A = this chain, B = another copy of it.
Amino acid sequence: MGKQHVTFSDIARYTNFSKTTISRYFNRPDSLTPENQERIRQALIDLNYKENKVAKILAKGQTEFVGILVPNLYQHYFSEMLNQILLTYEEFGYKFLVFVGNENEEVEKRYLEELMSYQIEGLIIMSHTIPSAELKELPCPIVSIEREDEYISSVNCDNYMGAIQATRLLVRHGCDVLIHVNSPTSENTPAFQRIQGFRDFCRENSIRHEIIVKNMGVTHSTVSPAMRRILTEIEERYPYERKGIFFSDDTRANEFLNLLVRQYGTLPDSYRIVGFDNSPIAETAVFPISTVGQQIDVIARTAVKLLVELIRQKKEHPQEPLEIRHQVIMPVLYQRETTEYIGQGY
């Protein structure tokens, strides 16, 4: 069998130093004479030493692990968020243990247990099945992204302003009636602010408007038929108006656009469309879709940065309760073809 790995003991024996000296070579090299540094440096090469962070964790009590709980990776929003979070390794050095929750509370609680058993130093949570009132009891700092966050710190998109930007864009392009299409949304989630922003803006500016709330899922097989029904409704209700429609996300905007294009051969002048998220589907739609971009990179980096600060705070003042901070990132409006004149037809 033989020893699996070379350890400090092996190096110590080889160099006739103590383990401590080897340890200090790594942690405070200046405390060794240059000659001794060199001797150890050479020994590391001779013996082909590889560091063992697990042992270090046990000794120091710090894992440099951050747990991530994401509801799914099917939606581009989540996979891109995960991507941007993982990329912060370069800046902050934290490693990520990732679990996909699949929207199941039981399962997600098991995952949290598992994460805790690995002594994660912090948690970034995008899943929404577990209420923040429960999450706040966990023994490590938590930052949520775009979910109910009453009792925990969070980073969210400024959904309210995003909705207003989208709505204003539709107004600017001469729409007679504004319609917001969304699925049922709990009032305490950040995304609810998209409805709120749309409504407030329309009311304050006395704009004729309607909010259509329908369960329509998130995959093609459910979104497409739902959009077909909504299109029929809209065409019946507003046959002669120019309709400006603000969708809760790009997927739905794209499905709706496709129905129009298949029906009219183009995007008729009687429609203007805005989506949300600036996902690739908006850019690669048959007519590129105007959309509200969430600055996922900024949100991700802000979330990790906030979490790292909370971790540091907890390390310095273990007894004090953690402060709760809610940060909000302004979205960016992308003006593309679905808010421009493209083709004739009412």
Residues from chain B with Cβ under 8 Å of A52 in the complex = 117, 119
Q: Which of A222-270 contact B (CB under 8 A)?
A: 251, 254-255, 257-258, 261-262, 265-266
- Residue A280 is within 8 A (CB to CB) of chain B in the complex: yes
User: When the two chains form their complex, are residues B100 and A87 in contact, meaning their CB atoms are under 8 A apart?
Assistant: yes
A117-B50, A220-B283, A283-B220 known; A97+B97 contact, CB < 8 A: yes
Interchain CA distance A119-B5 in the complex, whole Å: 10
Interchain CA distance A219-B50 in the complex, whole Å: 39
Residues from chain B with Cβ under 8 Å of A262 in the complex = 266, 286-287
Interchain CA distance A209-B315 in the complex, whole Å: 66
Residues from chain B with Cβ under 8 Å of A116 in the complex = 50
Q: Which of A24-32, A71-79, A327-335 contacts B (4 or more CB under 8 A)?
A: A71-79
- On chain A, the number of residues with a Cβ less than 8 Å from chain B's Cβ atoms is 55
Which residues of A line the B interface, CB within 8 A?
1, 4, 50-55, 57-58, 61, 63, 72-74, 76, 79-80, 82-83, 86-87, 89, 95-100, 102, 113-114, 116-119, 139, 220, 251, 254-255, 257-258, 261-262, 265-266, 280-281, 283-287, 318
A96-B98, A97-B95 known; A118+B54 contact, CB < 8 A: yes
- Pick from B50, B63, B87: contact of A54, CB under 8 Å: B63
User: When the two chains form their complex, are residues B63 and A74 in contact, meaning their CB atoms are under 8 A apart?
Assistant: no
Residues from chain B with Cβ under 8 Å of A318 in the complex = 1
Q: List 26 A-B contacts (CB under 8 A).
A: A4-B61, A50-B113, A50-B139, A52-B117, A54-B54, A54-B57, A54-B58, A73-B82, A74-B80, A79-B79, A79-B82, A83-B100, A86-B98, A87-B100, A95-B118, A97-B97, A220-B280, A220-B283, A255-B284, A258-B284, A258-B286, A261-B261, A265-B265, A265-B266, A285-B286, A286-B286
Residues from chain B with Cβ under 8 Å of A4 in the complex = 61
Residues from chain B with Cβ under 8 Å of A50 in the complex = 113, 116-117, 139
Residues from chain B with Cβ under 8 Å of A80 in the complex = 73-74, 79
Q: A50-B113, A95-B114, A281-B284 are in contact. List 6 more A-B contacts (CB 8 A).
A: A53-B117, A53-B118, A73-B80, A258-B285, A262-B286, A285-B286
